[in-house]
């Protein structure tokens, strides 16, 4: 459930009527989470609350978006909510993996919050194993999208104008029965479940994902957030480049650098 924090003031209300909810899936390479970091950091979004759940591994750390020593000692937990009313944007950042068999309860709780908070739509940033693509998915861009039927009516035409590629369905039984097609997102975590649940509940949801491999996934995060920006225009730019995004201070720790002294 959403728990507001004091410093959000009036924006910490659980009513995000008309807002777009942006969130990551915990998926291969943590690409969605890294892309979400870039959005929060670049837009200097205000933390307005927490998403309290027993479905995620508990964790605590220092402020991932610290800009000075004064705010570096603020603590962050596994699921936090940030808001930017001027852009009608609310972001749920997830920082830890899911506990086994907790995908479905989390999806149910999340979608209940989406309805009660009156969010207009949900955008899920995700990724999928590049090595498990079929022949059709090997062609062209490694970026894909999915829209629930309710959102398809609203923005489907725009996706066509952007020349985006919809996530292909693959054969349910390859080389046995190639006519039966299913949605398959290996390495995508909660992506498929959350998308199908949103379809059945009439929730407007878009999934934006990138095929990738584990490793240094920072370039994948930039590619995914630029893909998002083509649609939502969160930052104004004639050409999407990595330089328009502000890298958060926590990224200095991605590859084994020492822990910040402020943490202690």
- Between strands 2-4 and 20-24, the pairing is unpaired
Residue 264 is predicted with a pLDDT of 59
Residue 15 is predicted with a pLDDT of 77
Residue 57 is predicted with a pLDDT of 96
Residue 255 is predicted with a pLDDT of 66
With a cut of 70, which residues of the chain have pLDDT below it?
7-14, 175-178, 238-240, 255-264
Residue 115 is predicted with a pLDDT of 93
Residues 233 and 239: their CA atoms lie apart, in Å, by 11
CA-based nearest residue to 35, from 251, 175, 224, 244: 224
Residue 246 is predicted with a pLDDT of 93
Residue 139 is predicted with a pLDDT of 87
Residue 236 is predicted with a pLDDT of 85
Residue 135 is predicted with a pLDDT of 84
Residues 229 and 43: their CA atoms lie apart, in Å, by 12
Tokens of 138: 């090997």
pTM listed for this prediction: 0.91
């Amino acid at each position: 459930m959403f728990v507001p924090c004091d410093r959000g003031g009036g924006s910490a209300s659980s009513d995000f009527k008309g807002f777009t909810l942006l969130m990551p899936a915990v998926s291969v390479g943590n690409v969605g989470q890294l892309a979400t970091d870039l959005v929060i950091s670049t837009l200097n979004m205000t933390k307005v609350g927490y998403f309290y759940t027993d479905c995620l591994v508990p964790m605590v750390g220092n402020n991932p978006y610290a800009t000075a020593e004064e705010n570096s000692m603020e603590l962050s937990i596994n699921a936090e909510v940030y808001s930017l009313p001027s852009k009608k944007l609310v972001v749920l950042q997830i920082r830890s993996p899911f506990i086994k068999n907790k995908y479905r309860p989390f999806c149910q709780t999340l979608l209940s919050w989406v309805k009660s908070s009156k969010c207009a739509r949900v955008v899920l940033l995700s990724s999928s194993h590049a090595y498990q693509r079929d022949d059709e998915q090997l062609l062209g861009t490694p970026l894909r999208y999915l829209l629930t039927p309710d959102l398809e009516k609203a923005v489907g035409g725009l996706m066509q104008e952007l020349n985006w590629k919809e996530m292909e369905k693959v054969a349910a039984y390859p080389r046995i029965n190639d006519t039966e097609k299913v949605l398959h997102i290996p390495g995508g975590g909660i992506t498929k479940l959350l998308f199908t649940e949103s379809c059945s509940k009439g929730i407007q949801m878009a999934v934006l994902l990138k095929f990738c491999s584990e490793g240094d996934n920072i370039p994948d995060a930039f590619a995914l957030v630029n893909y998002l920006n083509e649609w939502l225009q969160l930052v104004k730019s004639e050409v999407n480049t990595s330089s328009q995004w502000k890298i958060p201070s926590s990224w200095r720790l991605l590859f084994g650098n020492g822990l910040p002294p402020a943490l202690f």
